[in-house]
Amino acid sequence: MDTALLLAIIGALGVGSQWLAWRLQLPAIVLMLVVGLLAGPVTGWINPEREFGDLFRPLVSVAVALILFEGGITLNFKALRDAGPAVSRLVFLGGPLVWIASSLVAHYAGGLSLETAIIFGGVLVVTGPTVVTPLLRQARLDRRPSEILRWEAIVNDPLGALAAVFAFEIALFLHGEGTFAITAGHLVLGIVLATIVGYVAGRGLVFAFSRGHVPEYMKVPVLLGLVLIVYATTDHVLHESGLLAVTIMGVVIGNAHLPSLGELRRFKEHVTVLLVSGVFIMLAASMERDMLLLLNWQTLAFVVLIMVVARPVAVMLALAFTDLSWKERIIVAWIGPRGIVAVAVSGLFGTRLVDAGIEDGALLAPYAFALVAATVVAHGFTIRPLAKLFDLTLQAPPGVLLAGGSDWSVALAKLLKEANVPVLVTDRNWFRLRRARQEEIPTFYGEILSETAEHTIDHNYYTYLLAVSDNDDYNALICTDYAPEFGRNNVLQLSRYVGSEKLSLPETITGRVLAEGMSYDAFSSRYREGWVFRKTDLSEEFTLDNFRETRPESIILAVIKPSGTVRFLHKDHAVKIEKTDALISFGPPAKS
């Protein structure tokens, strides 16, 4: 098959699986696994490993390195807060315990040789941020267990791979390839080198970007180029140590407060979606039918014991005597889905073990796929019910974040609060928040675009952002900044004043226009004239038509569904209003 056509097919299958998973609200990795197996060993349509030949392994390795770098760049130390001690325990105590327990299960239940089991146990320390993050978003888990699981996944990703490297070097030593001193020295040298190179590269990039030595349009290419150089040089010294180097580099950059970090992070997120999609399809499609037939009752026993014994016991021991509640410990111990790194590293070491004469190394890839599929399905469909059972979910329906503390926006916030919709009013002016504080409405005093706001405001509580300040350009900037987080349809602003074409902003950097396109001045003047915000319950007796007949001047801003979910109206997003809904409107006072 033509290489360009093969790449196009892999891209279409991967991105298509991600999109379909989003539409169906299913774990994306499960669909990618199914699609990859159907396109590869089931139908024989594609076999990327055979088609790409010697390029297959380097392509997978580089993609995994970029994925880990993106994970590292999201690690901001301020976000740890009270989750820090628990994460440290999971990494430095829980990691080795999971390694030991997983190795024992792989050897005695999975039937792997001791050398292969120890290598595989190191790989299974990894839980996978690309799988954990969507699960946490889906479950709306409380902040502390959510942060613990997210940090554990990202930090353990490279460490688990390095544990497998260590075990692999020892396995080669036991098979007579080199002395213990050479093996240990090689390993230590690779880790030290990876740490130094990753840190120096990160600090060097921060210096160049902050001093203006790299133009804006060149920042992303320079960043990607440096990541590839750091990975290739360190990996040349010790296989997979490049994963540690790029992760450290990402952490350094992510905590450097670069002005352009937001743009870099978003670009890396987009690249990661493509890489995760492509790599997983490639690995699944490259599985051989004979390899899949190796799966038997031992595989089932291995998967079950890893899920219900190895990780839970190790994590519960690691988190003993912490301030976490027993419910938080149980949910952290249970949720441990494996992802792309586990599959990629398993496939890599499995081939190398076979080359070294350890035949059961061929079982690593199918075992890893089986565990990934089982953990993603089991944890994906149990995390939300378990969180609800333990009362560890955000109970309130998703709410509204209002940027702007004018009198009328506070009045709207008060009405939403009375309707049991979570609401937060933010403003840079302390005195503008005075009325909101008097009404006991939650407030945030400060710059909503600041890093402090990013770590203080828990976005899991909010679905909509309303930019309602008196500055049209500032509103547009807020919407542009929050659109990737909330979604373009869920960031709204007031209608802008357009004096002339040269003064208008392009629509690509603005939010959706709230309601019927009223400006700040229109809201303010009508509020001073006595217009009020009101909640009106619809019913069989009082329908939407009745509302419009009795209150023709009122403007419908939002609809509250029976579930408590609020949906704001704008011209680009139609909302079906039903007889069981409640309307949030702005209109003249009721006539006496």
Give residue limits of the domains in the chain.
Answer: 3-389, 399-587
Task: Enter the CATH code of domain 3-389.
Answer: 1.20.1530.20
Outline where DSSP puts E strands in 249-405: 399-403
Three-state SS string over 326-342 comes to: HHHHHHHHHCCCCCHHH
Helix (H, G, I), strand (E, B) or coil at 533: strand
309-342 burial by CB neighbour count: b if 16+ within 10 A, else e?
ebbbebbbebbeeeebeebbbbbbbbbbbbbbbb
Going by DSSP bridges, is the β-strand pair 399-403/423-427 parallel, antiparallel, or unpaired? parallel
pLDDT in tens, 98-132: 989 999 999 998 888 888 888 888 888 877 666 77
Rounded to an integer, what distance in angstroms lies between the CA atom of residue 588 and that of residue 534?
10
Is this model's pTM higher than 0.85 or not?
no
Helix (H, G, I), strand (E, B) or coil at 565: coil
DSSP string for residues in 461-483 = GEEEEEE-SS-HHHHHHHHHHHH
Which residues are within 8 A (CB) of 160 and not within 5 positions of it... i.e. 6 or more apart?
Answer: 95, 122, 123, 124, 125, 126, 341, 342, 345
47-66 burial by CB neighbour count: b if 16+ within 10 A, else e?
bbbebbeeebbebbbbbbbb
Per-10-residue mean pLDDT, the chain, length 592? 83 85 70 84 83 80 76 63 72 87 90 85 78 71 80 71 68 62 69 87 89 82 89 79 81 77 64 75 77 75 91 91 88 84 74 77 82 84 85 75 92 91 90 90 87 69 88 87 80 72 58 80 91 90 88 88 84 76 88 60
> Phi then psi for 14, rounded to 5 degrees?
-65, -55
Question: Residue 501: what pLDDT?
Answer: 47
Question: Residue 267: what pLDDT?
Answer: 65
> Phi then psi for 466, rounded to 5 degrees?
-110, 115
Element (H, E) at 147: helix 143-174
Question: Residue 500: what pLDDT?
Answer: 42
> Phi then psi for 396, rounded to 5 degrees?
-70, 150
Tokens of 359: 């035949």
Using alpha carbons only, what angle is made at residue 482 by residues 479 and 483, rounded to the nearest 5 degrees?
A: 75
How far, CA to CA in Å, does 358 sit from each of 18, 345, 591? 36, 17, 87
Which residues are within 8 A (CB) of 62 and not within 5 positions of it... i.e. 6 or more apart?
Answer: 228, 231
Rounded to an integer, what distance in angstroms lies between the CA atom of residue 64 and that of residue 160?
13
Rounded to an integer, what distance in angstroms lies between the CA atom of residue 241 and that of residue 461?
39
| Topology given in CATH for the domain delimited by 399-587 | Rossmann fold (3.40.50)
Question: Residue 104: what pLDDT?
Answer: 92
